Structure 1
Amino acid sequence: MSAKTSAAIRYTTMRLAIFIGCLVAVGGLVQIGVLPKGLGDSNFVWVILLALVLSAPLSFILLRKQRDAMSEQIVGKVDQAKARLEASRSQEDGAVQ
């Protein structure tokens, strides 16, 4: 497994873990009555939306290092691909002339 895949999987797993933690916390708070249950039958949707709203800024703050590492690895791979493409183009241009 490449380092880029590893960093992406690690970041995604950690982000999912934060969301699940928020989902469990919000669900518990709704069940004990600290947070409203939503309107009518919207309890499940309410809990998911509230967990998403809470987990997004938490992920942004808590996973900064992982996101930066993943970004650096992706940029490196893109630069390598651009260099290979440019080398391929220059070889084709040399063969055509």
Structure 2
Amino acid sequence: MGRYTLMRLGIFAGCLVVVWGLVYSGIAPRGLGDSNYMWVVLLALVISAPISFVVLRKERDRASAQVVARVDRARANLEENRRQEDHVDDATRGAQSQTS
């Protein structure tokens, strides 16, 4: 999961450098007034999103498989805890009914 995030940040940083160069060389339009920094960041975000969607498809699938595995483990642990609690509760109730 961390690897996927770092790869996305790398693609964004690369796009940011390219957009910054294009804006300051005059090829891409500048933002209005003081909004130039915001323009560069937003344009880099818009460009990097589809690139990372296509380029990082396999890595995204690996990351989602890891998340699914963690969720399944958590569910299994929760279910095991519920079974243990039910077993202890049933044993306690059985002991109480025998003493009554």
In structure 2, the residue matched to 1:47 is 40
In structure 1, the residue matched to 2:9 is 16
Higher RCO, 1 vs 2 (CA within 8 Å, ≥6 residues apart): 1
* Residue segments in structure 1 that go unaligned for 5+ positions in a row: 1-7
| 1:70 to partner: Cα distance | 0.6
Task: Give the residue type in structure 2 aligned to 1:68.
Answer: D
In structure 2, the residue matched to 1:3 is none
Task: Give the residue type in structure 1 aligned to 2:45.
Answer: L
In structure 1, the residue matched to 2:65 is 72
> CA–CA distance in 2 between the matches of 1:91 and 1:33?
68
Q: Deviations over 1:59-97 (max 9, x none)?
A: 111111111001001101110111111011011101111
C-alpha RMSD over aligned residues:
0.7
Matched residue count: 90
Identical counterparts, % of pairs: 60
> CA–CA distance in 1 between the matches of 2:35 and 2:10?
24
In structure 1, the residue matched to 2:31 is 38
Structure 2 length-normalised TM: 0.87
Structure 1 length-normalised TM: 0.90
* Residue segments in structure 2 that go unaligned for 5+ positions in a row: 91-100
| 1:11 to partner: Cα distance | 0.3
SS in 1 for 2:34: coil
List structure 1 segments (4+ residues) > 2 angstroms apart after TM superposition.
none
